[in-house]
A and B are shown apart, each in its own frame.
Chain A
Amino acid sequence: MRAEVRVFGSEATRPTAVVLSPQVAARAVWVPAFVDLVCDPGFPGFPARETPASLADAATAGGFCELLACPHVDPVVDTPEHLSRTEPLRPPVRLLAAAALTVGLRGVELTEVGLLRQAGARALSDGRVPVADSLVLRNALEYAREFRLPVLLRPADAALDAVGVIHDSPLAARLGLRGNPAATEEIGVARAIALCRATGATVHLTHLGTARAVEQVVAAQREGLPLTASTPARNLVLDELALDDGRYDARLRLHPPLRGRADRAALVDAVRAGVLWVCADHQPRAPEEKDHEFERAVPGSAGLRSAFAACLHATRDLGATVRALSEGPRSLLGLPVGGWALVDPEAPWVPVPARGQAPDALEGHELRGVVLDLAAG
């Protein structure tokens, strides 16, 4: 039967559009719909990965109302003309644009930040590509600051970033895979904090994976810098030991890679403490892009369907999960609540491979927490 279900953080209730058993209705709760800060739409340019319809399906299933699209589609979203061609999604899901920080994501010339903002850009980002030149990055932050657009950066030292396919550790030596050192990220975070301090720009660091990076972010926030950070939800459930079975499962080919067990624990603690937000890091890959040797498989994983369950499963804290997936990202982009997700925080759920859905690194992992419905605001 349809039910009146309580709204998270208030005395109010909302009716459900879906039929729930009395047991589920008693456990279920409406929470503010989620916002993904790191979403690769796959279009235009990569029809085998994703279409507007399949992206809307994934977002709806995952409880996401707003998706901040990374600019590395084809062509790269680095001009107002490209921005205006963004395809609308099926409501209540909305695609918001992060425009490129540098032309072609090449890290050399600044994009037309003012015109991009007028055309609707909500943020600036070179997506997963680190800006190699620190002078260019400083200038980009100074320039963006005056247009009051947040800048999303994946913190990484570009030279070290090119090395390795899993976390550099004794496990990498044992598995015979080249490792990517944690220092890649630590250097990137240190540089971003220094330039945030120097410019006063609003900076959001994406894809955090290491305990030391979390410590650096905490110190920067204590200092009062306008700096926030997020980690992909899967990083709260998976760490490098997921690879220890020696299967070289290409679904776990991710960049940046899964880090160590202690790193994962630090990320979970930081999400619980409200220091770190969570993104879906939705990077749909066509099955044939994963049907390769581990090193040659295209890095990335879908994430929208499993982000809520992964975050709640790891933190066991619905309040922290809502803060990390909804309130935090909304505050960065200045968005009101765009919709409501109906969730059952107790239901067990195992993501499984499905036809027409991009592979997810969390497939086969038992999680707790299910999204039942997504409703407009």
Chain B
Amino acid sequence: MTRKDLLGLRGMPRAEIEEILSTAASMREVGRRRIKKVPTLRGRLVVTLFFENSTRTRTSFELAAKRLSADTLSFAVSTSSTAKGESLMDTARNIHAMSPDAIIIRHGCTGAPHLLARSFPFSVLNAGDGINEHPSQALLDMLTMRDHWGSLEGRTVAIVGDVQHSRVARSNIHGLATMGARVLVAGPGTMCRRELSGLPVERRHTVDEVVAEADAVMMLRIQRERLGQAVLPSAREYAAFYGLDLARLRRARPEVLVMHPGPINRGVEIGADVADGERSVILDQVTNGIAVRMALLFLLLGGREGGDDAG
């Protein structure tokens, strides 16, 4: 891979996605060792810069960097000068002065990683920007599906919920379409707007329709702050019409995969018995997350510089 940054899956060629997924599959082996560490990125500095709260994505990236022996620095935004009104570019200039090799950024504004990527020489990995993309999440989702199916070609994936404002959905849609899968979406009208026709998806009116056709059903997290606003009336209304409970799951194919990017609102978008049930691969997603992020750091930082092999 020759790219400097991972900004999104929109426009990423199929061969590159396959390279990332294959590399990730081989990285999983490191996590099964007694000593879960390889020296590939020894002496390299990886900075996490999270402007929004996140526990699992951040720890997953940090663990991935540590398993590759990189030094990690976690830039705590809430206690930093950003809280005092410093601009993103000024924050980045300060971090740049510490000579990082990569910055992993999560930011509330679409395009924030793109701005850093074209302004600085270090690699930028997008860990979620605005309502745009969350590419490492989509890659781990695709790795999880590939583990079960061998190939994504010709498969049907349903994404249910707030597709409009979900960066997980948007990255999955771009990536899955590139890999030859068909993506169905369903959700409330305010969250699955007609403008989604700009994406390679088929919009359906009911969750039952997409569940019946899908090889995998991806339930998106409902943000509780949207409840009771003019976007969504209530949690119980959402659960009744858009949640995945056992009754709705019975309409699905017997071998369907149930996925969720977490954290889960049990009883809202997904029933507890479904989340913990035999079709759920939610915890596999977490395990694969570390492997995918190791692969990304390896390919962006180490793969081309003749460093030690991951094995």
Binding site for B on A (CB under 8 A): 168-179, 246-248, 250, 288, 291-296
Contact = CB atoms under 8 A, between A and B. Distances in A.
Contacts of A169: 195, 198
A172 B133 CA distance: 13
A293 B92 CA distance: 12
B198 A173 contact: yes
B30 interface: no
B37 interface: no
A176 B114 contact: no
Indicate the member of A169, A172, A175, A293 with the most B CB atoms within 10 Å. Answer: A293
B129 interface: yes
Nearest to B8: A246
Contact of A172 (B112, B167, B195): B195
Contacts of A294: 109-111, 115
Nearest to A169: B195
A176 B198 contact: no
B193 A173 contact: yes
24 contacts: A168-B195, A172-B195, A173-B193, A174-B199, A175-B110, A175-B132, A176-B167, A176-B170, A177-B110, A177-B111, A246-B114, A247-B111, A250-B115, A291-B87, A291-B89, A292-B89, A293-B107, A293-B109, A293-B110, A293-B115, A294-B115, A295-B110, A296-B88, A296-B109
Interface in B1-46: 8, 10-11
A173 B132 contact: no
Contacts of A177: 110-111, 130-132
A175 B131 CA distance: 9
Given A247-B114, A294-B109, A294-B110, A176 B129 contact: yes
Interface in B219-254: none
Contact of A293 (B11, B112, B131, B164): B112
B256 interface: no
B81 to A, nearest CB: 16
Contact of B110 (A168, A170, A171, A248): A248
Overall SS of chain A's interface: loop
Contact of A246 (B11, B88, B112): B11
Contacts of A292: 87-89, 115
B131 A176 contact: yes
A174 B114 contact: no
A180 to B, nearest CB: 12
A173 B87 contact: no
Contact of B115 (A173, A175, A176, A248): A248
B126 to A, nearest CB: 11
B83 to A, nearest CB: 15
Nearest to B193: A173
B132 A176 contact: yes
Interface in B112-129: 112, 114-115, 118, 129
Contacts of B11: 246
Given A174-B10, A175-B132, A177-B111, 9 more contacts: A170-B198, A173-B193, A176-B132, A177-B131, A179-B195, A292-B89, A293-B88, A296-B88, A296-B109
A178 B11 CA distance: 20
Interface string B32-66: 00000000000000000000000000000000000
A173 B110 contact: no
Given A176-B131, A177-B132, A295-B130, A248 B114 contact: yes
Nearest to A170: B198
A296 B82 CA distance: 14
B223 to A, nearest CB: 15
A295 B111 CA distance: 8
A178 B197 contact: no
A168 B195 CA distance: 8
A41 B199 CA distance: 41
A176 to B, nearest CB: 3
B196 interface: yes
Contacts of B196: 170, 173
Contacts of B89: 291-292
Contacts of B193: 173
Contact of B197 (A170, A248, A250, A296): A170
Contacts of B170: 176
Interface in B160-198: 164, 167, 170, 193, 195-198
Contacts of A250: 115
A199 B281 CA distance: 66
B164 A173 contact: yes
Contacts of A296: 88, 109
Nearest to B166: A176
Contacts of B130: 176-177, 295
Interface string B93-116: 000000000000001011110110
B175 to A, nearest CB: 14
A67 B107 CA distance: 40
Contacts of B118: 247
A355 to B, nearest CB: 18
Contacts of B131: 176-178
A171 B198 contact: yes
A301 B280 CA distance: 51
A48 B199 CA distance: 40
A311 B131 CA distance: 35
A250 B112 CA distance: 11
